[in-house]
């Protein structure tokens, strides 16, 4: 089992929505961990507040680990998203982004706990949101087996992604392979995007599907099956590509920088 980090250069390519779709489409047990410093949104979005009484998430986990560093504590703060007799799990993110300062000294422990969790037969999809901010938990990316940057195929997104990928490469060195996923259509081909971004591989291209995205981001109802939506088909393709790409890599893969 492995840790896969999803991130973006900013300007809303939909990291949380994609991470939720990917973890839903995962072949096997999957845990979505909302680790975006700006806060989590799945409880109030996709679940529309139905689990308001849940005792906690990322912050509460960090506080608990400070008193009891047993990795098994993680499962006390995980929510089941399983609606179809599958193992689809969530570690909710921060309810208040101002609490991010309380995690400053906790990221190493959280990374260790998530790494240990993969030994229990669960793949972890990390939603890191926008990277390149001072509060980006780089330690979590360093603990990942594969990092995927989501971006739209536009000049603006490429310009934003390049310095962030360069900085990431300098931080993780050759220890964490990095790949790309394109969201929607734009004026540039996948080959052009890859060439502009250190020749990083593009694993998939997810279609722009705002109606289905609203189901995942805001819990909006739909009469059609979400499974057949183009967004979910794209997410399933990305999920399979992530696993296949990781399996095809040598022990160390050179990344940007």
- What is the per-residue pLDDT for 205? 94
The DSSP result for the chain, as a single string, is --EEEEEESSS---HHHHHHHHHHH-SS-EEEEE--TT---TTTTTTTTTTTT---SHHHHHHHHHH---GGGGGGG-EE--SSSS-EEEE---SSGGGGGGGTTTHHHHHHHHHHHGGGT-EEEEEEEE-SSTT--HHHHHT-SEEEEEE-SSHHHHHHHHHHHHHHHHHHTTSS-EEEEEES--SS-HHHHHHHTTT--EEEEE---HHHHHHHHH----SS-GGGSHHHHHHHHHHHHHHHHHHHS-SS-----
256 found inside a domain:
no
8 Å CB contact between 106 and 62? yes
Q: How far apart are CA 7 and CA 243, in angstroms?
A: 17
pLDDT tens by residue, 137-172: 999 999 999 999 999 999 999 999 999 999 999 999
214 falls in which pLDDT band (50, 70, 90)? confident
Number of domains in the chain: 1
Phi and psi angles of residue 99, each rounded to the nearest 5 degrees, phi first: -80, 0
Can you tell me the mean pLDDT for 24-32? Answer: 92
253 found inside a domain:
no
Can you tell me the mean pLDDT for 181-209? Answer: 93
Q: Give the pTM.
A: 0.92
144 found inside a domain:
yes
Can you tell me the mean pLDDT for 247-256? Answer: 66
257 falls in which pLDDT band (50, 70, 90)? very low
- What is the per-residue pLDDT for 47? 74
Percent with pLDDT over 90 in the chain: 65
71 found inside a domain:
yes
134 found inside a domain:
yes
Q: Is the pLDDT of residue 210 over 90?
A: no
Can you tell me the mean pLDDT for 79-104? Answer: 84
255 found inside a domain:
no
Length of the chain: 257
Can you tell me the mean pLDDT for 220-245? Answer: 85
Phi and psi angles of residue 196, each rounded to the nearest 5 degrees, phi first: -75, -20
- What is the per-residue pLDDT for 85? 46
217 found inside a domain:
yes
pLDDT tens by residue, 223-233: 566 677 888 89
Count of other CB atoms within 10 angstroms of residue 131? 24
- What is the per-residue pLDDT for 64? 93
CATH of the domain at 154: 3.40.50.300
Q: Is the pLDDT of residue 195 over 80?
A: yes
pLDDT tens by residue, 72-88: 999 999 988 876 545 88
165 found inside a domain:
yes
Query: 225: domain range?
Result: 3-248
């Amino acid at each position: 089992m492995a840790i896969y980090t999803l991130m973006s250069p900013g300007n809303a390519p939909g990291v949380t929505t994609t991470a939720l779709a990917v973890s839903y489409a995962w072949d096997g047990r999957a845990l979505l961990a909302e680790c975006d410093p700006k806060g989590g949104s799945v409880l109030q979005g996709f679940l529309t507040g139905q689990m308001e009484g849940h005792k906690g998430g990322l912050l509460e986990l960090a506080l608990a680990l400070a008193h009891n560093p047993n990795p098994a504590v993680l499962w006390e703060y995980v929510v089941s998203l399983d609606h179809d007799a599958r193992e689809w799990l969530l570690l909710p993110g921060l309810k208040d982004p101002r609490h991010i300062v309380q995690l400053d000294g906790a990221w190493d422990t959280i990374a260790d706990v998530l790494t240990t969790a993969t030994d229990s037969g669960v793949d972890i999809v990390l939603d890191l949101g926008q990277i390149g901010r001072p509060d980006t938990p780089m330690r979590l990316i360093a603990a990942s087996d594969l990092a995927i940057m989501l971006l739209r195929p536009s000049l603006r997104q490429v310009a934003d992604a390049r310095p962030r990928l360069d900085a990431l490469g300098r931080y993780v060195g050759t220890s964490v392979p990095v790949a790309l996923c394109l969201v929607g259509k734009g004026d540039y081909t996948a080959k052009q995007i890859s060439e502009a971004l250190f020749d990083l591989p593009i694993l998939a291209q997810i279609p722009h599907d705002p109606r289905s995205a609203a189901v995942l981001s805001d819990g909006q109802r739909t009469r059609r099956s979400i499974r057949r939506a183009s967004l979910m088909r794209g997410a399933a393709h990305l999920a399979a590509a992530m696993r296949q790409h990781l399996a095809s890599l040598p022990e160390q893969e050179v990344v940007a920088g």
